[in-house]
């Protein structure tokens, strides 16, 4: 569920109550429009920040990786209109101490004046995140049972959804209420392309016997919804720690790389520079290891 932060000091980031959990329709217009490039979005995912900044998992110091990515995002040649972290901000169990370290590490983003949008994944905890960041739920959320937001840009509308079911349980779900809201919101905004962002991946085949569903439990229903709205052009997600860009029946599927560790030794970790265009979107992969063979990989997506 997205938390939206504007430019704040670290103390404000940890202790202010002006920011809200989800329930917002945000526009890039008027948010430092004189300096921000409304076509540019930085996408991060799966930071897995622990309470201890020295902790190493799978041979990776997660805090150091996020610090590296934050430095690159803040030095992007044009100021992006937003920085989106698509879930699994915390390491495993979404502890308050995890979010305290996360806040301190990500703070240069808001200090640089870049709007920050935090989403939850299956390793996050809503209550701990809200408590650690001292934010409150909106009085009138867009989805009563979940927290969802819309980020409006001149080129496209980005729908940020909440797929967290239970902390440290791999399975995610969009849910009936959120799907119904999304369908109505998409119908009301047919004037621009729609990009849907969720933490979990689609899982259209059943898991092996005895294994839990690793992606969205309601993948079939969710995919049917996306396909039923012609303005939906792309589905962006994390969760699998495996960077890929594919297309299925005209729908672009973008699996973000993790900022933290990878599950395959040759897979890249890092973040993605996205540039929205009237007829599509350009993606550029920025890997943690500058020598990784996929560093700088570009994809030019065209809306059908």
Here the CATH number for the domain that contains residue 295 is 3.60.21.10
Instruction: Kindly tell me if the per-residue pLDDT of 138 is higher than 70.
Output: no
Of the candidates 113, 110, 118, the one whose C-alpha atom is nearest the C-alpha of residue 47 is 118
Structure tokens at 275: 């540039």
- Per-residue pLDDT, averaged over 2-25, amounts to 45
pLDDT digits (tens, 9 = 90+) for 206-255: 999 999 999 999 999 999 999 999 999 999 999 999 999 999 999 999 99
Instruction: Kindly tell me if the per-residue pLDDT of 2 is higher than 90.
Output: no
What's residue 25's pLDDT?
65
- Rounded Cα distance between 158 and 101, Å, is 28
Total domain count, the chain: 1
CB burial of residue 98 (10 Å; 0-12, 13-18, 19+): buried
| Confidence class for position 11, pLDDT limits 50, 70, 90 | very low
What's residue 5's pLDDT?
54
Residue pair 20/125 in contact by the 8 Å Cβ criterion? no
What's residue 3's pLDDT?
57
What's residue 17's pLDDT?
27
What's residue 9's pLDDT?
41
- Rounded Cα distance between 85 and 281, Å, is 18
What's residue 148's pLDDT?
86
Instruction: Kindly tell me if the per-residue pLDDT of 30 is higher than 70.
Output: no
Give residues with Cβ within 8 angstroms of 31, minimum separation 6. 6, 81, 115
Residue pair 82/117 in contact by the 8 Å Cβ criterion? yes
Residue 140 φ then ψ, to 5°: -130, 80
What's residue 16's pLDDT?
32
Residue pair 178/149 in contact by the 8 Å Cβ criterion? no
> Could you tell me the residue range of the domain that residue 83 belongs to?
3-302
pLDDT digits (tens, 9 = 90+) for 252-261: 999 999 999 9
- Per-residue pLDDT, averaged over 271-299, amounts to 97
What's residue 246's pLDDT?
98
Instruction: Kindly tell me if the per-residue pLDDT of 66 is higher than 90.
Output: yes
- Rounded Cα distance between 271 and 256, Å, is 7
Mean pLDDT over all residues of the chain?
89
pLDDT digits (tens, 9 = 90+) for 145-186: 677 899 999 999 999 999 999 999 999 999 999 999 999 999
Of the candidates 291, 267, 271, the one whose C-alpha atom is nearest the C-alpha of residue 283 is 271
Give residues with Cβ within 8 angstroms of 224, minimum separation 6. none
Question: Is beta strand 60-61 parallel, antiparallel or unpaired with respect to 56-57?
Answer: antiparallel
Lowest mean pLDDT among 12-21, 34-43, 190-199: 12-21
Give CA separation, 140 vs 20, 154, 239, in Å: 11, 26, 29
> pTM for this one?
0.91
What's residue 132's pLDDT?
79
DSSP the chain: --EEE-S--HHHHHH---SBBS--EEESTTSSTTTEEEEEEEEE----B-SSTT-EETTEEHHHHHHHHHHHHHT-SSEEEEEEEES--BSSS--HHHHHHHHHHHHHHHHTT--EEEE--TT--HHHHHHHHT-B--SS-SSSSS--EEEE-SS-EEEE-----STT-S-B---HHHHHHHHHHHHH-TTS-EEEE-SSPP--SPPPTTPPP-SBTTHHHHHHHHHH-TTEEEEEE-SS---EEEEETTEEEEEPPPSS--SSTT---EEEEEEEETTEEEEEEEESSTTSTTTT-EEEEE--
């Amino acid at each position: 569920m997205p938390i939206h932060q504007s430019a704040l000091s670290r103390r404000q980031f940890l202790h202010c109550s002006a920011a809200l959990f989800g329930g917002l329709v945000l526009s890039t217009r008027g948010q430092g429009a004189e300096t921000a490039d409304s076509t540019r979005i930085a996408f991060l995912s799966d930071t897995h920040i622990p309470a201890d900044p020295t902790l190493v998992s799978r041979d990776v110091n997660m805090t150091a990786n996020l610090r590296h990515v934050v430095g690159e995002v803040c030095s992007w040649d044009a100021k992006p209109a937003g920085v989106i972290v698509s879930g699994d901000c915390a390491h495993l169990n979404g502890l308050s101490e995890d979010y305290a370290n996360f806040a301190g590490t990500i703070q240069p983003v808001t200090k640089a004046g870049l709007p920050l949008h935090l989403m939850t994944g299956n390793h996050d905890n809503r209550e701990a995140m809200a408590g650690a960041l001292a934010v409150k739920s909106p009085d009138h959320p867009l989805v009563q049972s979940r927290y969802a937001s819309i980020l409006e840009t001149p080129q496209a509308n980005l729908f940020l959804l909440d797929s967290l079911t239970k902390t440290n349980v791999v399975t995610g779900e969009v849910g009936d209420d959120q799907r119904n809201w999304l369908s109505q919101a998409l119908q009301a905004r047919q004037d621009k392309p729609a990009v849907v962002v969720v933490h979990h991946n689609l899982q259209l085949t059943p898991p092996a016997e005895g294994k839990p569903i690793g992606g969205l439990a309601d993948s079939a229903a969710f995919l049917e919804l996306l396909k039923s709205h012609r303005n939906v052009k792309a589905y962006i997600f994390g969760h699998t720690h495996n960077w890929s860009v594919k297309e299925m029946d005209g729908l672009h599927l973008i699996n973000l790389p993790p900022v933290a560790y990878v599950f395959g030794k040759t897979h890249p970790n890092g973040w993605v520079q996205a540039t929205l265009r009237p007829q599509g979107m350009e993606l550029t992969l920025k890997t943690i290891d500058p020598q990784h063979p996929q560093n700088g990989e570009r994809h030019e997506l065209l809306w059908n």
